[in-house]
Structure 1
């Protein structure tokens, strides 16, 4: 089982963040442009944990070289059932440098977009706060 799956299933935000490369690229199923950077990706994933209900992985597919993984999941968002997939690429250090999420059906993706939109000010602030050093926030 991939360590990202274990961290997500445990709802361990710190473990998830520790698996992300500093320059990770996150491609959202509901945003036009990808997001870059560990702080922003970790904040988005914390937001997702707040909006997904009854999240569970149902299947895992791994390539033979250990760099590419597909984790299929099911969850609920605002009463809508969502089926999706996390596509991960890990670098030579074992850190996730590319994470793309896809979801279906459209009604579920729309519910996810609305729920995440409501979270986005908090997500942005969490990412900004994570990027500050103790000296900068003093």
Structure 2
């Protein structure tokens, strides 16, 4: 999905959030249970942007007009190089309703898990604030 890729590459996290469906399901490479909802997914993606260094998409796979897309990326967390893939599924309105991330190697996934764990309080706070703002 070109709009998602462009927003991520521009570090425009508001635009990324605008592409998410309200009921998006985010499946993390380092947590067993999926996260459900736009507020928590957007907060996680903001934390990922703080954690990843030298992030770049390498290529896209999929039909540009289809509903399933794969974006292969590389990044660094501390001294660990990571290769990964964002798998996106679009709903009937063109919003992302499923986002699954895979990363490798194991040492990179472990570095990512440790870095994201350090972000947990910020993620929870941002998700609460976003949820409260959408309720009011």
Equivalent residue, structure 2, for 1:52: 52
C-alpha deviation, 1:79, in angstroms: 1.1
C-alpha deviation, 1:133, in angstroms: 3.3
1:94 equivalenced with 2:94 (yes/no): yes
Distance in structure 2 (CA, Å) of the matches to 1:21 and 1:47: 19
Secondary structure, aligned partner of 1:132? helix
Equivalent residue, structure 2, for 1:16: 16
1:74-118 deviation line (CA, Å, top 9, x unaligned):
000011000000000001111000000000000000000000000
Distance in structure 2 (CA, Å) of the matches to 1:82 and 1:109: 7
Distance in structure 2 (CA, Å) of the matches to 1:12 and 1:130: 17
Larger CA deviation: 4-13 vs 55-64 = 55-64
Equivalent residue, structure 1, for 2:133: 133
Equivalent residue, structure 1, for 2:32: 32
Q: 1:112 to 1:135 in 2, by over 3 A?
A: closer
Secondary structure, aligned partner of 2:23? strand
Gaps of 5+ in 1: none
Runs of 4+ in 1 over 6 A off after TM superposition: none
Pairwise CA RMSD: 1.5
